[in-house]
Amino acid sequence: MRKPLKNPELPPGAIVETYEDGGALRNDGVTLTPASKNPWYVLATVAGEQDGASIADIDHDLHANNRRFWNGWMCQGMEEGERAALAETLGLSEKALAPLSAEEMKAVKARFKKAFPQSAPEKMIPAVNEMADFRLVYFLNTCVLAKCYFARRALFHQANFIRGADFHGAHFLLGGSFSGAYFTGFTSFSKARFTGRAGFQETYFAEFAWFTEVQFNAIAEFQRSRFIGLVYFKETRFERGADFSDGSFKTRTLFEKAEFKGTVPEFFHREMHQNTNFTDDPKLWPNVTAENAKQGKRAYTRLRQVAAEIYDPDLEHFFLRQEMKCKEALAGRFEKGLFVLYRKFADSGISVARPAAALAVLWALGAAMFAGYFLAPMGHDVPDTVAASPGWSGIGLSFANVLAFLGLSRAFFTEVLAALPISLKYFAGLQTIFGAVFFFLLALGLRNRFRLK
């Protein structure tokens, strides 16, 4: 059972009290330990801590030195081919990932001796095969782990980043958990890579959150997360699906060119800001299969509702078309055939060109058949006006059949229709039926394309 909030007007992760030792108390009653007493943070700051007000004030030279100690420790025992591949992924040199030298290890031990004077450094330095444990840590200074490699799962459960955090280009081999974490300042995960599961459940982002070009190779979990500031998921790749159910986006949210594979992202019961952007390119969304159609149908239904709520009719119809693909995959043989025809001839109600082309083909085929019949030297009993101009008569009769609702057949071609052989009469009837269908699809496409009411 959760403890009551100290201050109901503040979010659960907000700091309501700080301690002399550098620790803090969250609004939900959770006590945080100071980062300076966390062995993993000490390993990440061998060269020194950042003292800027935010990630805009990062000392990049200092971080480069810290990153060298971190990656050198994390990559020890790694084969050269594996190290070369990782270096390319991180955008660093192989030398930057080489095992720490004796001199560098001396600096690491000195840093741990200073942080933990009562313990031997060898006992406090984390093991490479352990999870990077930053749980319940209070980061008073800016946390910078950009382009750092995590050989095991990284845990930041309920950590508090008071001055923001920079995980730009970080590589989480077995994923990471930031569930319940609280980011007060500007936060960047841009170009980070989560090979394993990424957990951001109940995570709170008070300011700008940057997830541009992040690669989630496993499921990305953002349930009940809250984004108060701008959030960018531009060109982010979700390989195995994403769950944003519950929680909220309080301001502009950008999913421009974000790529969703595996399963359709879920936004059930989530508060969406009106200035939310998705890219309506089918190539960026999962291929519909029998395995994901049921989940996809529900997810697209919700996304269509989201598009309606943010007043984006084009996006709304895109999600409708995607939803219909899922329905097609779930339908029986006969119903599936109807879905296929609707998609082929009308692009599920959005195309103008396809039904217009179908009408043109239907009209041209009829014109050729009727004109050919009128021109054939077979002694047809047709009115003199038709015999005098068989080509134009065929064109006109076909047009009148295709657009039968105009009444042109009754006005000008009653005698001609009566004189036709039974086969052409049947064809004229089919023209009327299919002409009405294609014209309806054309009108539907015009309505949806130009948002006519």
pLDDT in tens, 128-153: 889 999 999 999 999 999 999 999 99
CB atoms closer than 10 angstroms to residue 61: 9
Residue 420 pLDDT > 60, yes or no? yes
Helices (H), 269-377: 293-309, 313-330, 333-346, 353-375
The mean pLDDT of the chain is: 90
Q: Give how far Cα 384 sits from Cα of 51, 331, 387, 390, 421, Å.
A: 99, 53, 5, 10, 18
> What tens digit of pLDDT does each residue of 326-356 get?
998 998 888 888 878 888 887 877 888 888 8
What whole-number percentage of the chain has pLDDT above 70?
94
Tell me the C-alpha distance between 28 and 16, whole Å.
9
- Express the helix, strand and coil content of the chain in percent, nearest 5 each: 45, 15, 40
Residue 379 pLDDT > 60, yes or no? no
Residue 105, amino acid: M
pLDDT of residue 382: 64
Which residue has 């201050």 as its token pair? 7
> What tens digit of pLDDT does each residue of 296-334 get?
999 999 999 999 999 998 899 999 999 999 998 998 888
pLDDT category at 453 given cuts 50, 70, 90 is very low
Task: Summarize the confidence of residues 401-410 as an average pLDDT.
Answer: 75
Tell me the C-alpha distance between 24 and 51, whole Å.
19
In degrees and rounded to multiples of 5, residue 161 shows phi and psi of -105, 95
> What tens digit of pLDDT does each residue of 98-123 get?
999 999 999 999 999 999 999 999 99
Residues in contact with 384: Cβ distance below 8 Å, sequence separation at least 6, in sequence order: none
Tally of helices (H runs) and strands (E runs) in the chain: 14, 28
> What tens digit of pLDDT does each residue of 22-79 get?
999 999 999 999 999 999 999 999 999 999 878 888 999 999 999 999 999 999 989 9
Which range is least confidently modeled, 162-176, 278-292, 393-407, 420-434?
393-407
Tell me the C-alpha distance between 49 and 163, whole Å.
13
Which range is least confidently modeled, 11-20, 37-46, 434-443?
434-443
Which residue from 5, 44, 46, 43 is spatially nearest to 27, judged by alpha carbons?
5
Per-residue tokens: 325: 């693909």
Residue 372 pLDDT > 90, yes or no? no
Task: Report the predicted TM-score, pTM, of the whole model to 2 decimal places.
Answer: 0.84
Look at residue 15 and give its three-state secondary structure.
strand
